[in-house]
Chain A
């Protein structure tokens, strides 16, 4: 039994080593493209620098005046600061102090229920605002950022505090007696009537909940959520309900799925297919909407002329109205680098004046309605920053996140490393 376990671990580490040490992307990135992508990553970092509270470090949900802090944006912020520190993009000690004070505020000051943070909180006090729910997925994203930050400062109080935040969470409580994780809980009305029941960004939540050393959820929960499968443009895809690109990206900003196999499914390849399907789906409407072209695509939940919507492609709901979110292409850069870089350069070269600002790309645009987002969203900036880091620096985030004990435990408990599927 133990030999079997040891063998599986060995296979996993060899796979990780293989993927980490080899060049990640088939085609080399030109010097100009690398310079542009690095500049975008640096500019995107400025969102977190300017939109995080100076005392608590909690990060605003968006640049819209009056926007509350979002716990998910704060998670991305922790990751971004730790990464920026590794590149020396901030003055000495600045990022480390930021990460430390934020973790302190999260541990001591920020309101939570059974360890789950509220979705929206007051930046200065850390108290719940807007009647928001204690959110399971947003807590998972915060935690992923905190644990990743801990890996950038090994052996420090930062790593310890991140672990304390993790150990405080009662994952089993969020099951509410079911086999699936509930979306959230409100003090006024109890558990929300929604559960994470099908493929989407839930994987990072499932991974951290199953891999937890304190109050984990049973590994059987991994098999409980639905993997809907359908085909679009000749590509078989395990798809999310909305078909939004971000659902294929969030978990994989942290988790390297290239060496993992979920009963024949490789989620890295799946996201690659979903990205290409997203591009194809946009192109299918290119005669109706001026915003879609081979260089201009990206259907994902974003602001639009009619407000924030879960834009997406087929398979899935496939809601679209000509609105394109640049972060969707940036977040796809590890899955389909050529298409993503083409789009990023196109957005940058053609729409820089209206779409690009001090904090990188703004939310979205819609050429047909001559609508341009005037704000940045924290989570959009976060996924852009992390995916650029993985792409530009040989999977730097994955290399640090994958060896986490929680991730290893999750892989072991769900048997994901059993058979390694070939990766293109």
Chain B
């Protein structure tokens, strides 16, 4: 079995470039929104949570909460011991883990919401883009249906922004040719009373213009 290798990738350059642009812009938008959200979400949160003021406040709170524990368990007599300092650092590091988790959770939530909105837009946009192909296909199918039922007066009319404009033009030209030829044949048959002797000759002349599979 013969394999057919593509020799030309850009058969319809404007069409293909347009779709390449659609896909690239979509992916680029998703990537940019994700990266910027994560970057600014995390970085902004970190900058705020680890500012000098915040760190100072957190250290004071860590110290105060440790002192609460010591007061409750009867250890506050001992003053600032290494155990107390160890407990303060433990509290502070635990708090920092909580803060960082909070920042990540917050950034992820914000990103999820942004992506949700973006996906809704992309889904809506894809309906619009696919409609530019689905619309013409529907028109072609409807016209071919009409033809199969013997109606040659139909034409494919597409919107300005629809894909396949060039195909529709070619299709309409072919259909117009068929319509004209068959109309002529019909006229010849309708006018046979005027000159019945020349009916066969006139039909042959018209049919000779059409090349079919029975012609050698």
Contacts and interface: CB of A to CB of B under 8 A. Distances in A.
A64 B94 contact: no
Contact of A130 (B53, B74, B79, B98): B98
Contacts of B91: 130-131
A66 B48 CA distance: 12
A242 B61 contact: no
Interface string B93-122: 011001000000000000000000000000
Interface in B56-93: 57-58, 60-65, 67-68, 70-74, 76-77, 79-80, 90-91
Contact of B74 (A62, A67, A317): A317
Contact of A310 (B58, B61, B74): B74
Interface in A385-403: none
A183 B72 contact: yes
Residue of A67, A129, A310, A317 most packed against chain B (CB within 10 A): A310
A283 interface: no
A37 to B, nearest CB: 28
Given A131-B91, A131-B94, A309 B67 contact: yes
B54 interface: yes
A242 B64 contact: no
Given A306-B80, A308-B67, A308-B76, 14 more contacts: A64-B57, A65-B53, A66-B54, A66-B58, A130-B95, A183-B73, A194-B72, A301-B71, A303-B64, A307-B80, A309-B76, A310-B74, A310-B77, A319-B76
B71 A130 contact: no
Interface residues of B, number: 26
Interface of B: 53-54, 57-58, 60-65, 67-68, 70-74, 76-77, 79-80, 90-91, 94-95, 98
Contacts of B76: 308-310, 319
Nearest to A194: B73
A241 interface: yes
A171 interface: no
Contact of B64 (A62, A65, A131, A317): A62
Interface string A274-318: 000000000000000000000000000101001111100000010
A189 to B, nearest CB: 12
Nearest to A307: B67
A68 interface: yes
B78 to A, nearest CB: 10
Nearest to B84: A307
The 3 A-B pairs with the shortest beta carbon distances in the complex, nearest first, are A66-B57, A308-B67, A310-B71
Contacts of A317: 74, 77
Given A131-B91, A309-B71, A310-B71, A66 B61 contact: yes
Nearest to A125: B102
B94 A130 contact: yes
Interface in A43-91: 62, 64-68
Contacts of B74: 241-242, 310, 317
A411 to B, nearest CB: 27
Contacts of B72: 183, 194, 310
Nearest to A242: B74
A120 interface: yes
8 contacts: A65-B53, A130-B62, A130-B65, A130-B91, A301-B71, A306-B80, A307-B80, A310-B70
B61 A64 contact: yes
A310 B73 CA distance: 10
A93 B180 CA distance: 86
Interface string A106-144: 000000000000001000000001111000000000000
Interface in A301-356: 301, 303, 306-310, 317, 319
A65 B57 contact: yes
Residue of B64, B70, B80, B94 most packed against chain A (CB within 10 A): B64
Contacts of A132: 65
Contacts of B54: 66
Contacts of B62: 130
B131 to A, nearest CB: 44
Nearest to A241: B74
Interface string A245-277: 000000000000000000000000000000000
B192 to A, nearest CB: 92
Contacts of A130: 61-62, 65, 91, 94-95, 98
A306 B79 CA distance: 8
A129 B68 CA distance: 15
A100 to B, nearest CB: 27
Nearest to B68: A308
A196 to B, nearest CB: 10
A307 B84 CA distance: 12
Contacts of A66: 54, 57-58, 60-61
Nearest to B94: A131
B60 A64 contact: yes
Interface in A374-423: none
B123 to A, nearest CB: 32
Nearest to B65: A130
A187 to B, nearest CB: 12
B188 to A, nearest CB: 88
